[in-house]
Amino acid sequence: MEIVKRPAPPTGIRRLMFRAPIYLYRLRLGWLFGGRLLLLNHTGRISGKPRQTVIEVVEHDSADGSYVVCSGFGPKTAWYQNILAAPDTSIRVGLRTIQVTAEPLDSDEGGAFMARYAPRHPRAARKLVRFMGFAVDGTPEDYREVGRQLPFVRLRPRPNGVRAQS
Protein backbone atom coordinates (compact mmCIF):
# COMPACT_ATOMS: atom_id res chain seq x y z
CA MET A 1 0.00 0.00 0.00
CA GLU A 2 1.26 3.40 -0.93
CA ILE A 3 -0.19 6.81 -0.22
CA VAL A 4 -0.15 8.61 -3.55
CA LYS A 5 -1.94 11.84 -2.74
CA ARG A 6 -4.72 12.26 -0.22
CA PRO A 7 -7.56 14.27 -1.77
CA ALA A 8 -9.26 17.22 -0.17
CA PRO A 9 -13.01 16.98 0.34
CA PRO A 10 -14.88 17.92 -2.84
CA THR A 11 -15.87 21.47 -3.65
CA GLY A 12 -17.99 23.10 -6.34
CA ILE A 13 -19.70 20.77 -8.81
CA ARG A 14 -18.06 17.68 -7.27
CA ARG A 15 -19.50 18.60 -3.88
CA LEU A 16 -22.94 19.02 -5.42
CA MET A 17 -22.65 15.57 -6.99
CA PHE A 18 -21.57 14.05 -3.68
CA ARG A 19 -24.57 15.65 -1.98
CA ALA A 20 -27.13 14.50 -4.59
CA PRO A 21 -28.07 11.35 -2.59
CA ILE A 22 -29.11 13.60 0.32
CA TYR A 23 -31.84 15.07 -1.86
CA LEU A 24 -33.01 11.60 -2.88
CA TYR A 25 -33.29 10.71 0.82
CA ARG A 26 -35.25 13.91 1.43
CA LEU A 27 -37.63 12.88 -1.37
CA ARG A 28 -38.13 9.56 0.49
CA LEU A 29 -36.23 7.69 -2.20
CA GLY A 30 -33.50 6.35 0.09
CA TRP A 31 -34.74 2.84 -0.59
CA LEU A 32 -33.14 3.14 -4.04
CA PHE A 33 -29.75 2.65 -2.41
CA GLY A 34 -30.73 -0.61 -0.74
CA GLY A 35 -28.43 -1.04 2.21
CA ARG A 36 -25.31 0.34 0.50
CA LEU A 37 -25.75 3.99 1.54
CA LEU A 38 -27.14 5.60 4.67
CA LEU A 39 -28.06 9.16 5.55
CA LEU A 40 -26.25 10.39 8.64
CA ASN A 41 -27.91 13.20 10.58
CA HIS A 42 -25.47 15.06 12.79
CA THR A 43 -25.06 18.38 14.55
CA GLY A 44 -22.38 20.90 13.59
CA ARG A 45 -19.88 20.99 16.45
CA ILE A 46 -19.29 24.72 15.95
CA SER A 47 -22.57 25.99 14.48
CA GLY A 48 -24.91 23.67 16.39
CA LYS A 49 -26.97 23.42 13.19
CA PRO A 50 -28.39 20.14 11.87
CA ARG A 51 -26.28 18.58 9.11
CA GLN A 52 -26.68 15.60 6.81
CA THR A 53 -24.35 13.48 4.74
CA VAL A 54 -24.70 10.23 2.85
CA ILE A 55 -22.07 7.59 3.54
CA GLU A 56 -21.43 4.13 2.10
CA VAL A 57 -22.05 1.26 4.49
CA VAL A 58 -18.89 -0.80 4.90
CA GLU A 59 -20.64 -3.50 6.90
CA HIS A 60 -24.02 -4.09 8.53
CA ASP A 61 -24.33 -6.47 11.46
CA SER A 62 -27.85 -7.86 11.36
CA ALA A 63 -27.39 -9.45 14.80
CA ASP A 64 -27.05 -6.15 16.67
CA GLY A 65 -28.32 -3.78 13.94
CA SER A 66 -25.11 -1.75 13.83
CA TYR A 67 -23.59 -0.16 10.74
CA VAL A 68 -19.90 0.46 10.11
CA VAL A 69 -18.90 3.45 8.00
CA CYS A 70 -15.60 5.07 7.08
CA SER A 71 -14.43 8.63 6.59
CA GLY A 72 -12.65 8.24 3.27
CA PHE A 73 -11.40 11.83 3.39
CA GLY A 74 -9.75 11.21 6.75
CA PRO A 75 -10.20 12.25 10.38
CA LYS A 76 -10.64 15.98 9.69
CA THR A 77 -13.84 15.48 7.71
CA ALA A 78 -16.64 17.62 9.17
CA TRP A 79 -19.15 14.80 9.70
CA TYR A 80 -16.55 12.68 11.48
CA GLN A 81 -15.52 15.54 13.77
CA ASN A 82 -19.20 16.32 14.42
CA ILE A 83 -20.09 12.80 15.55
CA LEU A 84 -17.03 12.65 17.77
CA ALA A 85 -18.32 15.80 19.48
CA ALA A 86 -21.95 14.57 19.65
CA PRO A 87 -22.06 10.77 19.21
CA ASP A 88 -25.80 10.36 19.88
CA THR A 89 -27.41 10.95 16.50
CA SER A 90 -29.61 9.24 13.92
CA ILE A 91 -29.31 7.57 10.55
CA ARG A 92 -31.76 6.78 7.83
CA VAL A 93 -31.42 3.53 5.92
CA GLY A 94 -34.02 3.13 3.21
CA LEU A 95 -37.24 4.30 4.85
CA ARG A 96 -36.18 3.59 8.45
CA THR A 97 -34.80 6.17 10.85
CA ILE A 98 -32.60 4.70 13.58
CA GLN A 99 -31.34 6.47 16.70
CA VAL A 100 -27.67 5.53 17.04
CA THR A 101 -24.54 6.15 19.06
CA ALA A 102 -21.33 6.60 17.08
CA GLU A 103 -18.33 4.63 18.35
CA PRO A 104 -14.93 5.27 16.74
CA LEU A 105 -13.03 2.07 15.97
CA ASP A 106 -9.31 1.53 16.40
CA SER A 107 -7.00 1.20 13.40
CA ASP A 108 -6.78 -2.60 13.59
CA GLU A 109 -10.57 -2.89 13.49
CA GLY A 110 -10.66 -0.49 10.54
CA GLY A 111 -8.07 -2.61 8.75
CA ALA A 112 -10.13 -5.75 9.32
CA PHE A 113 -13.29 -4.10 7.98
CA MET A 114 -11.50 -2.87 4.86
CA ALA A 115 -9.95 -6.31 4.27
CA ARG A 116 -13.46 -7.85 4.40
CA TYR A 117 -15.04 -5.09 2.27
CA ALA A 118 -12.61 -5.41 -0.67
CA PRO A 119 -13.45 -8.99 -1.73
CA ARG A 120 -17.21 -8.35 -1.33
CA HIS A 121 -17.06 -5.24 -3.55
CA PRO A 122 -13.85 -5.60 -5.61
CA ARG A 123 -14.58 -2.97 -8.27
CA ALA A 124 -15.85 -0.43 -5.76
CA ALA A 125 -12.87 -1.09 -3.46
CA ARG A 126 -10.35 -0.52 -6.25
CA LYS A 127 -12.04 2.72 -7.31
CA LEU A 128 -12.51 3.97 -3.75
CA VAL A 129 -8.92 3.46 -2.64
CA ARG A 130 -7.63 5.11 -5.81
CA PHE A 131 -10.04 8.03 -5.29
CA MET A 132 -8.90 8.30 -1.64
CA GLY A 133 -5.28 8.59 -2.77
CA PHE A 134 -3.94 5.09 -2.15
CA ALA A 135 -2.23 2.64 -4.50
CA VAL A 136 -2.81 -1.01 -3.64
CA ASP A 137 -1.68 -4.29 -5.16
CA GLY A 138 -5.08 -5.91 -4.51
CA THR A 139 -4.00 -8.21 -1.68
CA PRO A 140 -6.03 -8.41 1.51
CA GLU A 141 -3.03 -7.12 3.48
CA ASP A 142 -2.79 -4.02 1.27
CA TYR A 143 -6.49 -3.28 1.78
CA ARG A 144 -6.02 -3.93 5.52
CA GLU A 145 -3.25 -1.32 5.57
CA VAL A 146 -5.51 1.22 3.81
CA GLY A 147 -8.16 0.54 6.46
CA ARG A 148 -5.61 1.24 9.20
CA GLN A 149 -5.06 4.71 7.71
CA LEU A 150 -8.73 5.73 7.75
CA PRO A 151 -11.16 6.41 10.59
CA PHE A 152 -13.97 3.86 10.88
CA VAL A 153 -17.08 4.29 13.03
CA ARG A 154 -19.67 1.83 14.30
CA LEU A 155 -23.18 3.32 14.42
CA ARG A 156 -24.86 1.27 17.14
CA PRO A 157 -28.66 1.49 17.58
CA ARG A 158 -29.83 2.81 20.90
CA PRO A 159 -32.55 0.80 22.71
CA ASN A 160 -35.96 1.40 21.11
CA GLY A 161 -34.19 3.52 18.49
CA VAL A 162 -35.92 2.40 15.27
CA ARG A 163 -38.95 4.19 13.92
CA ALA A 164 -40.75 4.07 10.63
CA GLN A 165 -40.48 6.95 8.18
CA SER A 166 -43.26 9.45 8.74
What DSSP letter does each residue of 75-139 carry, written as one string? TT-HHHHHHHH--EEEEEETTEEEEEEEEEPPHHHHHHHHHHHHHHSHHHHHHHHHHTTEE--S-
pLDDT score for 166: 46
Q: Within 10 Å of residue 158's Cβ, how many Cβ atoms? A: 13
Q: What is the pLDDT of residue 162?
A: 61
Within 13 Å and on the Cβ side, how many CA atoms surround 65? 16
pLDDT at residue 132 in the model: 86
Q: Are 57 and 36 in contact (CB under 8 A)?
A: yes
Per the DSSP assignment, residues forming a β-bridge with 40 are 53, 91
How confident is the model at residue 18, as a pLDDT?
A: 80
**In whole angstroms, what is the distance from residue 13 CA to residue 71 CA?**
20
Rounded Cα gap, residues 51 and 98, in angstroms: 16
Task: List the chain pLDDT tens, one digit each, 166 residues.
Answer: 777 776 777 778 887 888 889 999 999 999 999 889 999 999 999 999 999 999 999 999 999 999 999 998 889 999 999 999 999 999 999 999 999 999 999 999 999 999 999 999 999 999 889 888 899 999 999 999 999 999 999 999 998 766 555 4
pTM: 0.88
In angstroms, the CA 23 to CA 16 distance is 10
In whole angstroms, what is the distance from residue 132 CA to residue 147 CA? 11
Residues with Cβ within 8 Å of 31's Cβ and at least 6 positions away in sequence, in order, are: 94, 95
3-state secondary structure of 48: coil
